[in-house]
């Protein structure tokens, strides 16, 4: 068939690109196509299989050369310890870190079934390039090792532990991270000493310890705050009067059946979301909280009730009457099947 085509088209050259016009695209266009093949950075593609940039190196020689020379393809690394063969994946991690040099990198590893020190040895030499960290650690020893050293490009930190903290004193963490603005923790935040004052977004779980309140008082520049509270936690929050002058968005996941109380002072709050609040008189409780917190600029109130709860047809009119000028939404929390 190719010879027949050539005989009919004498001006056609005998080259692979004659039948593969995609190979005639400029390299810059191919690079952009490759970039759009991956999740938007800092989200991480898998290290192998469908969706991995490795796939782009297996199409043809030209594409392989372009992919290997494109640093942005290798700057986001995700390691899933549920299924990996760790020696192979750690080796791939090192290779990707080398290929992406000198770009900032996004690293994700977890959940920790058997989280080896080999992964830390692979990523630690590149801490100067860490920009986004989403790590599920085995214990606080790993945490201390992770925090030891400057991270000048770090912007977002998402950490959880697989076991309880054993250190008596807080771990001084990321004190030399001038760009850090977002932190998510699922263990007691008081176990870390972070540069709280520079954060603009914070997600954490609070436990029943008054010293944890000092964290919120130190984080005076927050714009976004997400707290997970429990009954025993909230007792230590009562009457604390925590001023966060620039906070615009607050989300409380609180399985509480008591009034919220005058805990926060939030003059700039615009968006307030509360999940699983079980107070028998929620409208009065929320109105008291909003008034006590000085939320005179509130634009949106989002309420999520347990899936088992019923939503009265009169709920929306009652909330609109109680909060005029505020967009109110009520929904049931979906429980994963």
Neighbours of 316 (CB within 10 A): 13
- Average pLDDT estimate for 78-100: 82
Q: Is the peptide bond before 111 cis (omega within 30 degrees of 0)?
A: yes
Q: Is 325 helix (H, G, I), strand (E, B) or coil?
A: coil
pLDDT > 80? residue 184: yes
Indicate the range of 23-27, 200-204, 296-300 predicted with least confidence.
23-27
Find where tokens 């030499």 sit: 125
**Reduced 3-state DSSP string for 78-137:** EECCCCCCHHHHHHHHHHHHHHCCCCCEEEEECCCCCCCHHHHHHHHHHHHHEEEEEEEE
Closest CA to 273 of 293, 291, 298: 298
Asked if the structure places residue 91 within a domain, the reply is no
What's the rounded Cα separation, in Å, for the pair 176 and 165? 23
Label residue 9 by pLDDT band (50, 70, 90). very low
Label residue 32 by pLDDT band (50, 70, 90). very high
Predicted pLDDT at 12: 46
- Average pLDDT estimate for 118-146: 87
Integer angstrom CA distances of residue 168 from 172, 188, 191, 192: 12, 13, 8, 11
Predicted pLDDT at 71: 98
Closest CA to 272 of 291, 255, 254, 290: 290
- Average pLDDT estimate for 269-277: 90
Helices (H) and strands (E) in the chain, counts: 10, 15
- Average pLDDT estimate for 97-114: 86
Predicted pLDDT at 207: 58
Asked if the structure places residue 63 within a domain, the reply is no
Label residue 6 by pLDDT band (50, 70, 90). very low
What's the rounded Cα separation, in Å, for the pair 252 and 237? 13
Q: Is the peptide bond before 42 cis (omega within 30 degrees of 0)?
A: yes
Label residue 101 by pLDDT band (50, 70, 90). very high
Asked if the structure places residue 236 within a domain, the reply is yes
Q: Is 309 helix (H, G, I), strand (E, B) or coil?
A: coil
Label residue 335 by pLDDT band (50, 70, 90). low
Label residue 143 by pLDDT band (50, 70, 90). confident
Label residue 176 by pLDDT band (50, 70, 90). very high
| Contacts of 282 by beta carbon, 8 Å cutoff, 6+ apart | 303
Find where tokens 């000048």 sit: 152
Indicate the range of 156-160, 259-263, 294-298 predicted with least confidence.
259-263
Closest CA to 204 of 243, 250, 167: 250
pLDDT digit string, tens, across residues 234-266: 555 555 678 999 999 999 887 665 666 557 899
Asked if the structure places residue 163 within a domain, the reply is no
Which of 173-188 are b and which e, b meaning 16 or more Cβ less than 10 Å from the residue's Cβ? Answer: bbeebeebbbbebebb
Output the six-digit token pair for 200: 């603009």
Closest CA to 221 of 202, 240, 238, 206: 202
Asked if the structure places residue 273 within a domain, the reply is yes
Asked if the structure places residue 304 within a domain, the reply is yes
Number of domains in the chain: 1
- Domain with 242, as residue range(s), is 226-337
Asked if the structure places residue 282 within a domain, the reply is yes
| Alpha-carbon dihedral angle through residues 328, 232, 181, 185, given to the nearest 10 degrees | -110
Asked if the structure places residue 320 within a domain, the reply is yes
């Amino acid at each position: 068939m190719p010879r027949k085509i050539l005989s009919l088209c004498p001006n056609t050259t005998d080259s692979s690109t004659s039948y593969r016009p995609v190979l005639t695209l400029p390299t810059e266009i191919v690079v952009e196509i490759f970039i759009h093949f991956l999740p938007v950075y800092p989200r991480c593609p898998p290290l192998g299989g469908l969706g991995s940039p490795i796939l782009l190196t297996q199409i043809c020689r030209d594409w392989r050369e372009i992919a290997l020379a494109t640093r942005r393809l290798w700057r986001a690394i995700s390691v899933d310890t549920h299924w990996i063969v760790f020696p192979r994946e750690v080796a791939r991690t090192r290779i990707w870190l080398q290929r992406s040099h000198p770009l900032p990198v996004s690293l994700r590893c977890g959940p920790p079934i058997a989280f080896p020190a080999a992964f830390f040895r692979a990523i630690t030499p590149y801490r100067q390039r860490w920009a986004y960290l989403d790590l599920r650690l085995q214990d606080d020893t790993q945490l201390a090792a992770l925090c030891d050293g400057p991270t000048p490009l770090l912007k977002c930190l998402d950490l959880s532990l697989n076991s309880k903290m054993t250190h008596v004193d807080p771990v001084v963490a990321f004190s030399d991270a001038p760009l850090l603005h977002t932190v998510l923790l699922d263990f007691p935040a008081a176990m870390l000493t972070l540069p709280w004052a520079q954060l603009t977004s914070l997600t954490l779980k609070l436990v029943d310890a008054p010293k944890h309140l000092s964290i919120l008082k130190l984080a005076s520049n927050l714009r976004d705050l997400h707290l997970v509270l429990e009954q025993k936690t909230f007792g230590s929050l009562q009457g604390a009067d925590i001023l966060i002058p620039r906070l615009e968005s607050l989300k409380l996941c609180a399985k509480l059946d008591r009034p919220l109380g005058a805990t926060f002072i939030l003059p700039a709050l615009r968006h307030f979301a509360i999940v699983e609040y079980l107070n028998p008189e929620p409208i009065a409780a929320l109105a008291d909280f909003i008034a006590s917190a000085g939320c005179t600029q509130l634009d949106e109130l989002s309420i999520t009730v347990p899936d088992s709860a019923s939503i009265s047809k009169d709920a929306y009119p009652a909330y609109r009457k109680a909060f005029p000028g505020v967009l109110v939404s009520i929904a049931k929390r979906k429980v994963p099947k």
